[in-house]
Amino acid sequence: MPSLRYHSGKLVLIPKEYGWLLRLKTKDKLVEIPLSGDCVEDALIQAEQIYVDMCVISSNKVRCQQCVHWQFVDGMCGLGFPEGKQTGGKHAKECAVFWRKV
């Protein structure tokens, strides 16, 4: 199977004998990360989450609203962490759950 390219080639999924390899192109370097998903759907979901995390890191304006656990309707952290509640998400840079994938 050929490699799969997304986001104008910034995210590339490369099939390996066992699993997938994620290649991310950032402003400074090329990063390769082995993924745990066996099927393409699982690998793509995991790759997209890592891609979003990398975009947030490079933006230098981190907010809880960029986290997958943020609930927009309620305006609070879906995991119940106080740094997300009633603060507009300005404390995301201190949230260990938000940054655990990076």
pTM score of the predicted model: 0.61
Convert the pLDDT of each residue in 4-28 to its tens digit: 898 888 899 999 888 899 999 877 8
Convert the pLDDT of each residue in 62-95 to its tens digit: 777 777 676 766 666 777 666 655 666 666 767 7
Backbone angles phi, psi at 48, to 5 degrees: -65, -40
Tokens 């304006």 sit on residue: 61
25 three-class SS: strand
Determine contact, residues 52/41, Cβ cutoff 8 Å: no
* Torsion sign (Cα): 68, 71, 76, 81: negative
43 three-class SS: helix
